[in-house]
Structure 1
Amino acid sequence: MTKNTYRVSQNNQNRKSVFSFIEKHISINGLFENGLPIKYLPYILFISAIGICYIGNVHYAEKTIRKIDKIKEEVEDLRADFRTLQADYMHARLQSEVAKKVENLGLKESSKPPVKIIVKKGEY
């Protein structure tokens, strides 16, 4: 049986990747030769704080949008209920409907028109 061997392809050596390009042209190793450069620390902390504030603001905005959508749906439901109740009350206040409801109490609708009572000065 033959032994497994590793073969280097000619195509891989000619191909250039983005990371090899970045590694060749930007030398980050030079910055960290003597340890972490303290002069960049305030900038890094500032950018990190701004990033955290930005992420928090996005979450807050999405939460507010969800609340607004939920309240809009609730308002639409309440508006529909209001319109239904308003139509029921408009129907219930008709003279014929009131007469039907008070009939159970023994009240009857008057067939005579109302009479105007005139009171003279000093009579009362």
Structure 2
Amino acid sequence: MANGQWITKNLNFFLFLTVLAVLYIANGHMADKTIRNINKTQNDIKELQYEYKTIKSEVMFKSEEVQVLKAAEPLGLKISKDVPTRLNPNL
């Protein structure tokens, strides 16, 4: 059998192998892209966790009684020295 006949006889098989190779390469690129996206998302999550913890600690600090008093003082608000009165819900 001549070389030319062997190539033409197996042309469909070579095309099939070429398509498989292209799909294999494309799959590798998609997997790399997915891994990069996962790593980026994990980094974003870590950054948001740090931001959450920072904001939470700021809120905890600003909600302390001393800090609330400092913030309310310029508004003219002070702690009441009177005993609170209880409303009767039956009326």
Paired amino acid for 1:117: L
Question: 1: CA distance between counterparts of 2:38 and 2:17?
Answer: 31
Q: If the length of structure 2 is used for normalisation, what is the TM-score? A: 0.86
Cα RMSD of the aligned pairs, angstroms, is: 1.7
What's the counterpart of residue 46 of structure 1?
Answer: 16
CA change 1:31–1:112 in 2 (3 A) is farther
Question: Structure 1 segments of 4 or more deviating over 4 A?
Answer: none
Q: 1:18 maps to what in 2?
A: none
The alpha-carbon distance between structure 1 residues 40 and 95, as it changes in their structure 2 partners (threshold 3 A), is: same
1: distance between equivalents of 2:41 and 2:89?
A: 58
**TM-score, normalization by structure 1:** 0.65
In structure 2, distance between residues paired with 1:48 and 1:69: 32
- Please tell me the residue identity of whatever aligns with 1:79: Q
What percentage of aligned pairs have identical amino acids? 31
Structure 2: runs of 5+ lacking an equivalent:
none
Partner AA of 1:62 in structure 2 = D
SS of 1:115's equivalent in the other structure is coil
Q: Which has the higher helix share?
A: 2
